[in-house]
Amino acid sequence: MKVAASCLWLASKLEESPRKARQVLIVFHKKECRMENLQIKHLEIGSQKYYDLKTDLSRTKRNILKEIGFVCHVEHPHKFTSNYLAICEAQLSIFHPPPSSNTDRDKRHDRRHVRKEWMIEI
């Protein structure tokens, strides 16, 4: 029954409106009660039984994904990206040092402006 519930939950994730684990668990809990000829009891969301069923559902889903060749554990690229950017910034600062202050940048800008005006006047 666990495998069927996990397969249904996985299949629902491909649809436009995927079902939540809670919805799948409630339906399969009722189905299990009917199959065993037990009185149908409402599955309490905060109960230990619900927590155990949800844990089993997730584990079974993970096992199914592993069996069909889905990679369940992936190392995120954030660490590599931040290291790469740090190296790039270090290399850029070697080749293009930033101006020492805003006043130096303003002075250089003023000199260029004066040079352009001088060329226009001639």
Residue 116 has pLDDT above 50, yes or no: no
Quick: pLDDT tens for 24-77.
999 998 988 888 888 888 888 889 989 999 999 999 999 998 888 887 666 777
Residues 63 and 100 occupy one common structural domain: no
CB 64: neighbour CB atoms within 10 A? 15
- Total-model pTM: 0.54
pLDDT, average across residues 94-121:
52
In a domain, 73, yes or no: no
Residues 58 and 90 occupy one common structural domain: no
Alpha carbons 76 and 90: distance in angstroms, whole number: 23
Residue 118 has pLDDT above 80, yes or no: no
Answer for the pair 95, 85: CB distance below 8 angstroms, yes or no.
Answer: no
Residues 13 and 57 occupy one common structural domain: yes
Q: Which domain holds residue 102?
A: 78-121
Query: Above pLDDT 90, what percent of the chain?
Result: 19
- Give the residue from 25, 24, 27 showing the smallest Cα distance to 13: 24
Residues 12 and 59 occupy one common structural domain: yes
Total domain count, the chain: 2
Alpha carbons 44 and 35: distance in angstroms, whole number: 20
In a domain, 72, yes or no: no
Top pLDDT among 54 and 113 is at 54
In a domain, 54, yes or no: yes
Alpha carbons 22 and 83: distance in angstroms, whole number: 40
In a domain, 114, yes or no: yes
- 19 class by beta-carbon count within 10 Å (0-12 exposed, 13-18 middle, 19+ buried): middle
Average pLDDT, the chain: 77
- 78 class by beta-carbon count within 10 Å (0-12 exposed, 13-18 middle, 19+ buried): exposed
Q: How distant, in Å, are the alpha carbons of 24, 25, 39 from that of 34?
A: 16, 14, 8
Residues 52 and 104 occupy one common structural domain: no
Residues 42 and 89 occupy one common structural domain: no
